Amino acid sequence: MRFRFVGTGDSAQTPCFGCDCQACGRARVISSCQRGPCSAEFWVNASRYLLDAGRMDLVESCERERPAAIFLTHYHADHVQGLLHLRWGLGASIPVFGPKDSHGCADLYRNPGLLDFRAGLKPFKPIHLDGMTVTPVPLLHSKPTLGYCLDDGGTKLAYLTDTLGLPCETESFLRDWEPDVVVLDATYPASHMEPKNHNNLPMAVQIIDRLGCPEAYLTHISHRLEADVLRDPSQLPANIRLAQDNLELQLGMHLAAS
């Protein structure tokens, strides 16, 4: 499996408009430190699949390589706003899988254009792609939200954003499933003591500890968390890294930043 982080920021992205913190200042002068809307993509047997569609340049990206399907974690704008443009294109429809959510976002359901919104996925019921099994798992967020457990027969990766903690049944599933890599929401720093809808860093670390996963990446990272980690990098255990935009994982082989 080839897996790539496309965006690793929260809804404000990094740099955050109007902010002068260390993380935002750095991102303004080093473009590789920027964080776009949280999303990823993976390839199996030369087919490209998207995990969320909030990137602003979604159409340009799809012109370069048309996706076989899009998996949505949920319908918040920063995860779907690229679809508001992509839908008006021409050609074959693009299947869109996601949680059952009667509202969607804006008028996407009413005016889907070339997007083929499939019925809401059933948690824990796997989808079989050509060379990959994708199992949706419920998360804890302010809108119906799914994580996705990807298994290409050689490597297992769990992509878990946006969430505050994990539902018991999801944590139980993951313990049995034994992922090789976990990608988990860590939006806020430790000082954000009562986070809503997203983990802070200590919560994310505890979850990864409980899952006993050897390798983990944090995503949906706010500029505030990043500034805090820049101040004190020792907060991150050795097996947990902050993901970064464009980081590509060659799973089953070795991990390398593109």
**DSSP label at residue 122:** P
Considering only 57-65, 165-173, 182-190, 209-217, which stretch makes contact with its own copies by CB under 8 A? Answer: 57-65
Applying CB under 8 A, among 107, 169, 178, 232 the residue interacting with its own copies is: 107
Burial class (CB in 10 A: 0-12, 13-18, 19+), 154: exposed
Question: Which amino acid is present at 188?
Answer: Y
Spatial separation of the C-alpha atoms in residues 74 and 162, rounded to whole Å: 8
Spatial separation of the C-alpha atoms in residues 135 and 126, rounded to whole Å: 4
Site for its own copies in 18-37 (CB under 8 A): 18-19, 37
Applying CB under 8 A, among 11, 197, 235, 250 the residue interacting with its own copies is: 11
What residues have CB less than 8 Å from 168, skipping those under 6 apart? none
Beta-bridged to residue 51, according to DSSP, are: 40, 71
Token pair listed for 8: 């690793």
CB of 156 to its own copies, least distance (A): 33
Applying CB under 8 A, among 57, 65, 169, 232 the residue interacting with its own copies is: 57
Nearest residue (CB) to its own copies, 151 versus 226: 226
Question: Which amino acid is present at 7?
Answer: G
Nearest residue (CB) to its own copies, 24 versus 229: 24
Q: Are 99 and 124 in contact (CB under 8 A)?
A: no
Considering only 7-15, 40-48, 127-135, 195-203, which stretch makes contact with its own copies by CB under 8 A? Answer: 7-15
CB of 75 to its own copies, least distance (A): 9
CB of 144 to its own copies, least distance (A): 15
Nearest residue (CB) to its own copies, 103 versus 118: 103
- What separation in angstroms does the CA of 135 have from each of 42, 118, 122, 175? 15, 15, 9, 14
CB of 247 to its own copies, least distance (A): 22
For residue 97, give the nearest of 153, 45, 135, 46 by alpha carbon: 135
Site for its own copies in 60-89 (CB under 8 A): 62-63, 76-78, 81, 84-86, 88-89
CA angle 67–73–79, rounded 5-degree value? 75
Nearest residue (CB) to its own copies, 85 versus 241: 85
Q: Which residues bind its own copies (CB under 8 A)?
A: 10-13, 15-19, 37, 56-57, 59, 62-63, 76-78, 81, 84-86, 88-91, 105-107, 114
